[in-house]
Structure 1
């Protein structure tokens, strides 16, 4: 009777410590125990004392070993190490070289989405692009589907992005076709090799490459597409409609990207306009406008400007918003008696006439400091209005 009482006390003690009557070989823990440290879970030396009371060694499933608990790699998620037992306790686990698949341990070759040609396991419902980015293999519901050829059109680049590295140091890649539509996509397609000219293919543009100049325009590394560059006291921009339509000049000197090109570029996504202005003493100012759009030729290349921001004191482009483009031979401004493009010797989006004219012989911004003059203006567009 005395022994029965001692056994009963032992039973009550173990139930109090572990909150469970399951003492078959090793102790189970809750889901929260698996994602926190032993100290946070309240595991102390008392566990060691209690564990000593368990004398039987469990019979583990196939290929498992009874050892100190360690995180497991699975066939479904080979890149993730998951906890299936209480830390700092013995449990049935897979050896390091094997993967947990349901309730058994298997070699990676036995996983359903093992790709022998690359010696990797593709995670469930993920894809893997070959090193040459010419085909992609799919893992669907734990089974490897056939690999498909990646067809990127002439205007796109197949990009092989590293998704993760598995527990054997093998990289898993994702492949996708990236349309080379502007300078941002040059960066996205991992074709960026510095500020320079690149070929892009804006949506809707006839089947020819557009050469653009890509430049980093802000401290956070924004890569922008140059659309204009103008030096003061130069008459270069006193030109006709067709030249402004097609574009002219060099981005390293004076430059206009062309109104047709500007329309196709801004029609394909949400763009921000950035205007950089440098004074004759090297001081820098900028202005930005989100939701920048240039309409087509049928609508006179009308410009739309969104919210203003910048280091200049005023929004000098406010009266130019929703204005059509004017040149020396095409008067689309709101002035009753004269052609503003002739008066200012430059094509621009005039009202009647201007508070800002970045194409004029005298580069204008109405609220610019009186003791400073603008020696250089540059205009850029970039996608998605990144922060400055």
Structure 2
């Protein structure tokens, strides 16, 4: 095990610029960190720069901070903790500078910090800065950075699952997936969010719907769907039937026909009918459509204010 150290002498927020990207870090000058796990990413190479060290840390979910040697030979180190972690110990070292990786709870914050320039999978910290990171797909759309909380590209990944799996989340953020009710709740309970639904129908067209004040309630409230208003959208308002309703999986008994897939139950009777997560064989539906069914479906959220 390689033991290195990060310590704080001077704190300030700095940016490392690479290909028009400004990466936010908290700088700890003249510092060296002893971490439970540290990895030498490069040494004595012309490309072993602070920019390389930062961008490679961004791509590594386990990287929480970096150390860059500023005198003598070039060297870059990745650490699995930040300098404030209780498992880290610190000391002064004039040849090194350490940077704590900026922590964001969602893709909106990543975009604001300059971490994202292309849509793709990134790590965020919706529970707390010291929690285990969560992999999410960040989508740049309409000039805003959105966190994708659901994507259904086809029926390859089934959404006919019990509630426990919807709480945990499943699938891959690179393709079809459900982010997880606990993650969505943690994220949307800490700020004000807008929800955007992207609906591709079997008529070959793509439709949208936007909602303000979106959130998912806690487990104590059965992960109820909350939102303030339907803003606008060519898909129409299909969520009004589920407003303030609880979430259910296919293990839910409703007194009607039972749930074929996980979604919020109808608020007026607590029943499960065909919904966007039903099988895509003429059953998956956006209820504001009369005769159209879904062939692709996405839900994404973005912060509108703290």
* Common fold by TM > 0.5: yes
Shift of 1:209: 0.6
Shift of 1:178: 5.2
CA RMSD of aligned residues (A): 3.1
Q: Which of 1 and 2 has higher RCO (CA within 8 Å, sep 6+)? A: 2
Shift of 1:369: 5.1
Shift of 1:252: 3.5
Instruction: Map 1:46-61; keep pairs closer than 5 Å.
Output: none
Match of 2:110 among 164, 168, 186: 186
Structure with higher strand content: 2
Distance change >3 Å, CA 188–CA 153, structure 1 → 2? farther
Using the size of structure 2 for normalisation, the TM-score is 0.62
Distance of 1:235 and 1:249 partners within structure 2: 7
Cα shift readout 1:254-302 (whole Å, capped 9, x = no counterpart): 2100111111111111011110011235411111111111111122111
SS at match of 1:363: coil
Shift of 1:323: 0.6
Could you list the structure 1 runs, at least 4 aligned residues long, displaced by more than 6 angstroms after superposition.
none
Structure with higher helix content: 1
Partner of 2:196 in structure 1?
A: 274
Structure 1: give runs of 5+ residues left out of the alignment: 1-126, 137-150, 155-174
Distance of 1:204 and 1:339 partners within structure 2: 40
Maintained 8 Å contact 2:121/2:174: no
Shift of 1:128: 7.5
| Structure with larger Rg | 1
Distance of 2:183 and 2:15 partners within structure 1: 35
Using the size of structure 1 for normalisation, the TM-score is 0.49
Distance of 1:131 and 1:229 partners within structure 2: 33
Partner of 2:171 in structure 1?
A: 249
Maintained 8 Å contact 2:222/2:247: yes
Match of 2:223 among 282, 290, 301: 301
Structure 2: give runs of 5+ residues left out of the alignment: 1-10, 17-25, 30-81, 86-98
Shift of 1:248: 0.4
Cα shift readout 1:179-212 (whole Å, capped 9, x = no counterpart): 4110011112211131111111114587211111
Partner of 1:368 in structure 2?
A: 289
Distance of 1:131 and 1:309 partners within structure 2: 36
Aligned residues: 215
Distance change >3 Å, CA 176–CA 305, structure 1 → 2? same
